[in-house]
A and B are shown apart, each in its own frame.
Chain A
Amino acid sequence: MVTQVTSFSRNGLSDFIVQRVTAYVLAAYTVVLLGFILTAGGMTYDIWREFFNQTWMQVFTLLALLSTCAHAWVGMWTIGTDYIREHYFGESADAFRLVYQVGCVLALACYIIWGVQILWGS
């Protein structure tokens, strides 16, 4: 059965707010990144590296990464509870939805860990 147990906050309003706020963060990040790419005057490893070595950019990137995950989870959860239902998948719908949700969580967790490693790894 489709339930709200696995939703981001189990509250529609908080999920809604989370999705909007993270959308703003991602929009701002996109603007900053595009601005940098357009004004950097060349795209060498050193320029790129120097840009991402600044603390504010690292914090901002991590924030954007976390926002991506929260935003994606709210969205993917919604899609899963809309479409992966008995109507299409018969009895195995619940099992399939669980696999789908675990898959999403794992992928998002990988993004975060990998992202942190890229930002602060040597």
Chain B
Amino acid sequence: MEISVYRYDPEKDKAPYTQAFEVDMPDGRDLMVLDVLELIKEIDPTVSYRRSCREGVCGSDGVNMNGKNGLACITPISDVAKRGKLSIKPLPGLPVIRDLVVDMEQFYDSYKKIQPYLINKDMPPEQERLQSPEEREKLDGLYECILCACCSTACPSFWWNPDKFIGPSGLLQAYRFLADSRDTATEERLANLEDPFSVFRCRGIMNCVNVCPKGLNPTRAIGHIRNMLLKRAV
């Protein structure tokens, strides 16, 4: 199978280029894209990418495969290859450090902005803050995010204004804390999201939903935030 890989080493290369590799699939098995990257690394050890858990939990190996973002470790080749070909590129929109490794700073900055931790001004109880099963249920589909950045880097609004638009991942997390019954900073959180960029740059094209390897729905979370902002205003 022919795999083309985006290559760029800012210390050596003037511009990025793609390098083609011929990889033999071991006795016709369907491998994950990460396995293929490992095979490529055996051919050329300078090919760089991030990886850690290799089972879709750590969120390190988000890459763009034949135009679609996803985690290399849980994407079978048969799902993404077209006519026996696969092109692997770094997540779009973020600066490339080397080959498939991108600089996630901008992404984490957005995450920081939404204050991704419980804020509760009341005295902590002796043991823990309790939630009813119903309250806990509200966090389903939100807390599972592994911050892989597949969604935000698939979002044009995030490409255009990454410093101002929080992006789908950050907004999913923002709603995760807005929806938490133990958090008391709802008002403050909403006030920080009211400007024309943070939330309202979302135009609902749902690229995020399309690529999330965890099957989460940032667009829905953004809709909830919008409704909360509206309710608070009227």
Chain A residues in the interface with B (C-beta under 8 A) = 2, 4, 7, 10-13, 15-17, 78, 81-83, 85
Q: Give the interface centre of B193, B194, B198 by most chain A CB atoms within 10 Å.
A: B194
Complex contact B161–A81 (CB within 8 A): yes
Say if the beta carbon of B200 comes within 8 Å of chain A: yes
- CB interface residues, B 129-172, toward A, < 8 Å: 156-157, 160-161, 164
Who on chain B is nearest to A81 by CB? B161
Complex contact A4–B160 (CB within 8 A): no
A24 to B197, CA, bound (A): 23
- B contacts with A, residue count (CB < 8 A): 18
Say if the beta carbon of B88 comes within 8 Å of chain A: no
Who on chain B is nearest to A8 by CB? B196
B175 CB to nearest A CB, Å: 16
Q: Give the interface centre of A2, A7, A13, A81 by most chain B CB atoms within 10 Å.
A: A13
A1 to B51, CA, bound (A): 36
B40 CB to nearest A CB, Å: 31
Complex contact A13–B157 (CB within 8 A): no
Say if the beta carbon of B199 comes within 8 Å of chain A: yes
- CB interface residues, B 190-204, toward A, < 8 Å: 193-201
- CB interface residues, B 180-234, toward A, < 8 Å: 193-201, 226, 229-230, 233
Complex contact A11–B194 (CB within 8 A): yes
